[in-house]
Amino acid sequence: MGVRCVPTVILFKAAHRYIFWCLEVGLLDVSVEQAENYLRSMRVVVLDFYAEWCIPCKAVEEVLDQVSKAFRSSTDVAFLRIDVDRDKRAVERFEVYGLPTVIVFQKGLEVRRFTGVPRNFAIELARLIKSLS
Protein backbone atom coordinates (compact mmCIF):
# COMPACT_ATOMS: atom_id res chain seq x y z
CA MET A 1 0.00 0.00 0.00
CA GLY A 2 1.45 3.38 -0.98
CA VAL A 3 1.26 6.59 0.98
CA ARG A 4 0.69 9.96 -0.66
CA CYS A 5 2.27 13.16 0.63
CA VAL A 6 -0.07 15.03 3.05
CA PRO A 7 1.03 16.33 6.56
CA THR A 8 -0.05 14.62 9.83
CA VAL A 9 0.82 14.92 13.57
CA ILE A 10 0.04 12.72 16.59
CA LEU A 11 -0.16 13.99 20.15
CA PHE A 12 0.19 11.70 23.12
CA LYS A 13 0.03 12.42 26.83
CA ALA A 14 2.20 10.15 28.97
CA ALA A 15 4.51 9.78 31.97
CA HIS A 16 7.42 12.00 32.86
CA ARG A 17 10.26 9.54 32.44
CA TYR A 18 11.11 10.43 28.81
CA ILE A 19 10.43 14.14 28.86
CA PHE A 20 13.95 15.38 29.55
CA TRP A 21 15.30 13.57 26.50
CA CYS A 22 12.56 15.17 24.40
CA LEU A 23 13.33 18.59 25.82
CA GLU A 24 16.91 18.35 24.65
CA VAL A 25 16.16 17.34 21.07
CA GLY A 26 12.77 18.86 20.25
CA LEU A 27 11.34 16.40 17.73
CA LEU A 28 12.60 12.91 18.49
CA ASP A 29 12.90 10.29 15.73
CA VAL A 30 11.45 7.00 16.97
CA SER A 31 10.39 3.54 15.81
CA VAL A 32 6.88 2.15 16.19
CA GLU A 33 7.98 0.28 19.34
CA GLN A 34 9.46 3.42 20.88
CA ALA A 35 6.31 5.39 20.04
CA GLU A 36 4.24 2.72 21.79
CA ASN A 37 6.42 3.10 24.90
CA TYR A 38 5.90 6.86 24.90
CA LEU A 39 2.16 6.40 24.46
CA ARG A 40 2.09 4.21 27.57
CA SER A 41 4.28 6.49 29.66
CA MET A 42 3.62 10.11 28.64
CA ARG A 43 0.50 12.16 29.36
CA VAL A 44 0.47 13.86 25.94
CA VAL A 45 2.24 12.69 22.78
CA VAL A 46 2.39 14.48 19.44
CA LEU A 47 3.36 12.02 16.72
CA ASP A 48 4.42 13.23 13.28
CA PHE A 49 4.51 10.84 10.32
CA TYR A 50 6.75 11.98 7.48
CA ALA A 51 9.01 10.95 4.59
CA GLU A 52 12.18 12.61 3.33
CA TRP A 53 10.68 13.09 -0.16
CA CYS A 54 7.54 14.83 1.18
CA ILE A 55 7.78 18.62 0.71
CA PRO A 56 4.79 19.52 2.96
CA CYS A 57 6.34 17.36 5.71
CA LYS A 58 9.20 19.86 5.96
CA ALA A 59 6.73 22.69 6.66
CA VAL A 60 5.07 20.61 9.38
CA GLU A 61 8.48 19.79 10.87
CA GLU A 62 9.26 23.51 11.23
CA VAL A 63 5.91 24.15 12.94
CA LEU A 64 6.37 21.19 15.29
CA ASP A 65 9.87 22.32 16.16
CA GLN A 66 8.54 25.78 17.12
CA VAL A 67 5.58 24.38 19.08
CA SER A 68 7.82 21.88 20.90
CA LYS A 69 10.05 24.75 22.02
CA ALA A 70 7.00 26.52 23.46
CA PHE A 71 6.30 23.43 25.59
CA ARG A 72 9.93 22.71 26.46
CA SER A 73 9.33 23.31 30.18
CA SER A 74 6.41 20.85 30.28
CA THR A 75 7.18 17.36 31.56
CA ASP A 76 3.83 16.09 30.25
CA VAL A 77 4.36 16.42 26.47
CA ALA A 78 6.54 14.45 24.02
CA PHE A 79 7.05 15.41 20.36
CA LEU A 80 7.93 12.37 18.24
CA ARG A 81 8.23 11.57 14.55
CA ILE A 82 8.37 8.42 12.46
CA ASP A 83 9.81 8.14 8.95
CA VAL A 84 7.23 5.94 7.19
CA ASP A 85 9.80 4.81 4.62
CA ARG A 86 12.14 3.50 7.34
CA ASP A 87 9.42 1.97 9.52
CA LYS A 88 6.66 0.81 7.19
CA ARG A 89 4.69 -0.77 10.06
CA ALA A 90 3.75 2.76 11.19
CA VAL A 91 1.40 3.22 8.22
CA GLU A 92 -0.73 0.23 9.20
CA ARG A 93 -0.42 0.54 12.99
CA PHE A 94 -1.51 4.21 13.08
CA GLU A 95 -3.66 4.13 9.91
CA VAL A 96 -1.66 6.81 8.12
CA TYR A 97 -3.03 7.33 4.61
CA GLY A 98 -1.38 10.64 3.72
CA LEU A 99 1.69 12.68 4.57
CA PRO A 100 2.31 14.66 6.53
CA THR A 101 0.08 13.36 9.30
CA VAL A 102 0.22 14.49 12.91
CA ILE A 103 -1.69 12.66 15.63
CA VAL A 104 -2.16 13.94 19.17
CA PHE A 105 -2.68 11.42 21.96
CA GLN A 106 -3.71 11.85 25.56
CA LYS A 107 -2.99 8.94 27.91
CA GLY A 108 -2.47 6.71 24.88
CA LEU A 109 -5.76 7.57 23.17
CA GLU A 110 -5.98 9.53 19.92
CA VAL A 111 -7.70 12.88 20.48
CA ARG A 112 -6.94 14.69 17.22
CA ARG A 113 -5.49 13.95 13.79
CA PHE A 114 -4.14 16.50 11.33
CA THR A 115 -3.46 15.52 7.72
CA GLY A 116 -1.65 17.98 5.49
CA VAL A 117 -0.91 21.51 6.68
CA PRO A 118 -4.21 23.02 7.83
CA ARG A 119 -4.69 26.77 8.12
CA ASN A 120 -3.65 28.04 11.57
CA PHE A 121 -2.04 24.65 12.28
CA ALA A 122 0.50 26.00 14.81
CA ILE A 123 -2.10 27.94 16.81
CA GLU A 124 -4.61 25.09 16.80
CA LEU A 125 -1.98 22.53 17.82
CA ALA A 126 -0.60 24.73 20.62
CA ARG A 127 -4.11 25.34 22.01
CA LEU A 128 -4.89 21.64 21.92
CA ILE A 129 -1.67 20.68 23.70
CA LYS A 130 -2.23 23.34 26.36
CA SER A 131 -5.77 22.08 27.00
CA LEU A 132 -4.56 18.47 27.38
CA SER A 133 -1.47 19.01 29.53
Total domains present in the chain: 1
Q: Rounded to whole angstroms, how far apart are CA atoms 99 and 103?
A: 12
Q: Is residue 86 situated within a structural domain? A: yes
CATH, residue 91: 3.40.30.10
Q: Is the pLDDT of residue 23 over 70?
A: no
Distance between CA atoms of 129 and 133, rounded to whole angstroms? 6
Listed in sequence order, the residues at least 6 apart from 68 whose beta carbon sits closer than 8 Å to its beta carbon are 22, 26, 27, 46, 77, 79
Q: What is the 8-class DSSP label of residue 127?
A: H
Q: Which of 57, 80, 99, 125 is catalytic?
A: 57
Domain span including residue 24: 8-132
pLDDT of residue 1: 43
How many angstroms separate the CA atoms of 21 and 100, rounded? 24
The answer to whether residue 115 sits within a structural domain is yes
State residue 32's pLDDT score.
96
**Residue 61 forms part of a structural domain:** yes
Supply the DSSP symbol for 108: T
Q: Is residue 3 assigned to a domain? A: no
Identify the active-site residue in 22, 30, 54, 82.
Answer: 54
Q: Which of 11-25, 67-81, 92-106 has the lowest mean pLDDT?
A: 11-25
Q: Does 57 qualify as catalytic in the annotation?
A: yes
Mean pLDDT, residues 6-29: 49
**Is 1 part of any domain?**
no
- Indicate if 22 belongs to the active site: no
